Structure 1
Amino acid sequence: MPQMVLRAGDVVQVGSEASVQFSGDRGLLFRIIRVDPRVTYDGWIWLEGYVVGPAGNALQRRRIFVRRDGLRPVMLNRGPDARPQATARNRPRPAGRT
């Protein structure tokens, strides 16, 4: 069975199949921002990313150690109104200012 290719921006369900720390009700949705390229135990990987809330928003940044085969891909329902909100960091500057 081919392994799922994980990329920045992917959202995965992390549950007990990925690690015992996520067993029971402790499973979570996780948006990947980085897959650590270092070699670890066979089948295990380090992921950096954000815990995703019900609305698809980032709740908490985390680094997790999980079994690759235990991750399940998730497609979030992101309609045309699910655009990022402008913040001070990404809001366009008024013309004429530097």
Structure 2
Amino acid sequence: MKSGDVLHLTRAASVQFLRPIFVRVIRLPNWVTYDGWLWIEGYELGPKGEAVVRRSLFVQMSGLIWPDAPVSTARPTTRRQIRRGQVRVG
């Protein structure tokens, strides 16, 4: 697992995920845990793949799911880029 990976977290990862979520991993802190468990820092993803909230999560490694079809990673376009030499109209 590395930064940028998308995980699907269900009750198999921890009882806290009564409602399954998708998370994009930011980093894996080197904190002491129980055998088979780890801490993940990441962003919970919304239905369109956008980051909704940053979270620190304590999960079982055996319950992690890498989805076959990852959540969209395309960044929304917020403005049109102007190339050098073009004139902006309007």
Q: Could you state the TM-score of these two structures normalised by the residue count of structure 2?
A: 0.76
Match of 1:83 in 2: 75
Match of 1:56 in 2: 49
Offset of residue 54 of structure 1: 1.3
Which structure has greater helix proportion?
1
Partner of residue 19 from structure 1, selected from 14, 17, 29? 14
2:23 maps to 1:30? yes
- CA distance in structure 2 between the aligned counterparts of 1:27 and 1:35, rounded to whole angstroms: 20
Q: Deviations over 1:12-37 (max 9, x none)?
A: 010100001112xx110011001112
Could you say which structure has the larger radius of gyration?
A: 2
Go from structure 1 to structure 2 and tell me whether the alpha carbon gap of 1:27 and 1:78 turns closer, same or farther (over 3 Å shift).
closer
- CA distance in structure 2 between the aligned counterparts of 1:45 and 1:77, rounded to whole angstroms: 23
Match of 2:60 in 1: 67
Task: Give % identity.
Answer: 45
Once superposed, which parts of structure 1, at least 4 consecutive aligned residues long, lie more than 6 Å away? none
Gaps of at least 5 residues in structure 2 are: 80-90
- State the SS of the aligned residue for 1:22: coil
State the superposition RMSD in angstroms: 2.4
Q: How many residues align?
A: 80
- State the SS of the aligned residue for 1:30: strand
- CA distance in structure 2 between the aligned counterparts of 1:63 and 1:9, rounded to whole angstroms: 15
